[in-house]
Amino acid sequence: MATRDRPEYDRLLTAIRDIRHERGLTQREVANRLGTYQEWINRSETGERRLDAVELYDIARALDVDLAEILRRAGLIGRHRQHPG
């Protein structure tokens, strides 16, 4: 069962996937950078497992992007912030 229970989290996962695709990276390549398995990346990107703050930071580093950029793209900070409700 997916842990995605809020639209904000869906947008966060979409931002991560989009950035990975833009950088031309596979899930396996990101997993190798993190020292983990491709399945872990897949489960994280699909919401099957919920990312904690440190894991999110590590993914940002593996994607060579500022964590703030992921949050901006997800509409969680900055000008384009989307308010719940």
pLDDT band for position 34 (cuts 50, 70, 90): very high
Q: What is the pTM of this model?
A: 0.85
User: What was the pLDDT predicted at 40?
Assistant: 98
User: What was the pLDDT predicted at 5?
Assistant: 78
Structural domains of the chain in order of their starting residue, each with its CATH number: 7-73 (1.10.260.40)
Cβ contacts of residue 62 below 8 Å, gap of 6+? 30, 33, 34
What is the Cα–Cα distance from 81 to 27, expressed in whole angstroms?
A: 27
Place of tokens 């793209």: 73
- The answer to whether residues 46 and 3 touch, using CB atoms and an 8 Å cutoff, is no
